[in-house]
Structure 1
Amino acid sequence: MKLSTYIDGLLEKGICSFSGVDAVSALGSGESAVRAALRRLRHKGELAMPVRGFYVIVSPEYRQMGCLPASQFIPALMQYLKEPYYTGLLSAAEFYGAAHQRPQAFQVVTEHSRPGIICGMVKVDFIKRKNASLMPTRDFKTPRGYLKVSTPEVTAFDVVGYPHHAAGLDNVVTVLVELAESLDPAALAAIADLSPVSWAQRLGYLLGFIGETELAEGLAGYVAERKPVPALLSPSHPSHGVRQDPKWRLFPNQSVNPNI
């Protein structure tokens, strides 16, 4: 079997990726010959290799990008890597119409640290969350299958917990303003235990700051029950002279301005 025939067969089944090992096995040829054929198709732009040994079939409309959009190959890639994942932070917010600015990289949350990917013009960043497999997700349909995306509530916790991955605290508040209509107060409280309590303190404070009182109250009871140590709104900023917000046991040590 020729490599082109193998690839056509995958496409007929709606499959847009494969491993080098699978190709060698299916073609029944020597490994060196298959690798050479794979290299030729990569040079022609018909294949891309986001990670070693994993190939993406690049359809003609995406060849100028040099890769498929990340949302179309990430599910297969994570299955290949045997890594629990979900699309998170600003990339998840975009699925809920809450990304004020499109992230420069597609953001994927995983349980282990992984280097980012550059595949043609497509960039993927991985953010480590050791309990990623426990986080609630929703499936979004893409042209190549289904993509796991964090729920709005998980997305809210994540952007607050990883502000450096969300373009800073001002943008975090902007995302929360736009995400608020998708949030459920009971669902927020239900998943609070999956994150550090300081994230609930910050998220509750910021929801109150933007006037989402009902959403904030869903977390206020949780924080009051936990009686956590006082936290900083921004751990990277000084807190000298800042008065504590007693409700959230939080020092609002950074002014925030939504970009809306």
Structure 2
Amino acid sequence: MSERFNQRLRALRSGGCLTFTLAEAQNLFGMTSSAFADASQMAIRRQALFKPRQGLYVIPSHRDGPLRAPPMQDIIDDIMTHDRAPYYVGLLSAAKAHGARVPAGTPFQVVSSKILRSFRLSAQHVEFFHRKNMPPLDMLQRRRGDVAQLRLSSALLTAVDLLRYRRHMASHDLVRTMLGEMAGCMDVAEVPLLLGFTPVSVLQRLGYFLDLAGAKQLADTIAERIDGASRPTGLGPVGHTSKAKPALERRWQLFSQ
């Protein structure tokens, strides 16, 4: 039974199937629910099958070498659909997709309006961040991984999140560098969309770092949009960047904390 089950897993994977649900299992394997439960548990113990969620299964690669789960970018959409959770791939994972260099070993970072626990799948670490108010769909992109599609934050939304969730990020110098590397991908037309769901204090910090990165048009547009609404605010708990310019601090009403 176990060998037939494993053969079927390999056939499914070869045919492009990376995930399946418990509801689909009977049709896929032609087994009773109890027989599938026994076979799947044995496969999970042998890491010939992964179960990241109750009722959701992931088929690893059966090529030569250790069994590994598919890349997270190819299965995250299935996982979040199974969880019925609005989401987008964001923060450092999105920054990397937009051309920024990120620290090695960074978890796969996902933002959702649903509170979810981080988890590991094979050698991959998935880290969730909660956002109560999701951004407009116009700021989310549909990107294709090696096999499947995923929902990715735009470069400008990624920059906002790097500052919004700054306690989870690295130094301000690293954030400034990444914003500079992504600036060419940012769409100035998205700036008005930020106003409906982004605190002004975050926009002040964003404008400041874009100024430092030399993204003048983006910084000027943000300054025009928040003119009269900004208040003196702190740069953030990490501390002041060593490349601070006093004139820009006055423009954005920022002080070091």
TM-score (structure 2 length as normaliser): 0.84
Q: 1:95 aligns with which of 72, 94, 97?
A: 97
- 2:117 and 2:235 map into 1 onto residues whose CA distance is 28
Residue 149 of structure 1 corresponds to 152
Residue 116 of structure 1 corresponds to 118
Could you give the per-residue CA deviations for residues 170-203 of structure 1, whole angstroms, max 9, x where no partner exists?
Answer: 2211211111111122323432332111110110
Distance 1:69 1:12, change over 3 A: closer
1:146 is matched by which residue type in structure 2?
Q
1:85 is matched by which residue type in structure 2?
Y
TM-score (structure 1 length as normaliser): 0.84
1:176 is matched by which residue type in structure 2?
L
CA RMSD of aligned residues (A): 2.8
- 1:130 and 1:158 map into 2 onto residues whose CA distance is 13
- Structure-to-structure mapping, 1:131-142, within 5 angstroms: 131-132=133-134, 134-135=136-137, 136-142=139-145
The answer to whether 1:212 aligns with 2:207 is no
Structure 1 residue 96: deviation in Å?
1.2
Residue 80 of structure 1 corresponds to 82
Structure 1 residue 90: deviation in Å?
0.6
Residue 252 of structure 1 corresponds to 255
Contact 2:143–2:150 (CA<8 Å) still a contact in 1?
yes
- 1:174 and 1:63 map into 2 onto residues whose CA distance is 38
- 2:76 and 2:255 map into 1 onto residues whose CA distance is 37
Residue 168 of structure 2 corresponds to 165
Distance 1:204 1:100, change over 3 A: same
- 1:34 and 1:232 map into 2 onto residues whose CA distance is 56
Contact 1:90–1:102 (CA<8 Å) still a contact in 2?
no
Residue 196 of structure 1 corresponds to 199
Give the count of matched residue pairs.
249
Could you give the per-residue CA deviations for residues 113-157 of structure 1, whole angstroms, max 9, x where no partner exists?
Answer: 111011111110001111226352112212321111111111111
Distance 1:109 1:52, change over 3 A: same
2:71 is matched by which residue type in structure 1?
P
- Aligned to 1:126, the other structure's residue is in SS state strand
Could you give the per-residue CA deviations for residues 214-248 of structure 1, whole angstroms, max 9, x where no partner exists?
Answer: 221010011104x133221115669xxx9994422
The answer to whether 1:40 aligns with 2:50 is no
Residue 185 of structure 1 corresponds to 188
Could you tell which deviates more after superposition, 168-177 or 58-67? 58-67
Unpaired segments of 5 or more residues in structure 1?
255-260
Residue 23 of structure 2 corresponds to 21
- Aligned to 1:132, the other structure's residue is in SS state coil
Residue 55 of structure 1 corresponds to 57
Structure 1 residue 108: deviation in Å?
0.5
- 1:86 and 1:75 map into 2 onto residues whose CA distance is 9
Structure 1 residue 101: deviation in Å?
2.4
Structure 1 residue 80: deviation in Å?
0.6
2:199 is matched by which residue type in structure 1?
P
Contact 1:156–1:176 (CA<8 Å) still a contact in 2?
yes
- 2:83 and 2:64 map into 1 onto residues whose CA distance is 24
Unpaired segments of 5 or more residues in structure 2?
241-245
- Aligned to 1:193, the other structure's residue is in SS state coil
Residue 258 of structure 1 corresponds to none
- 1:148 and 1:62 map into 2 onto residues whose CA distance is 31
Structure 1 residue 99: deviation in Å?
2.7
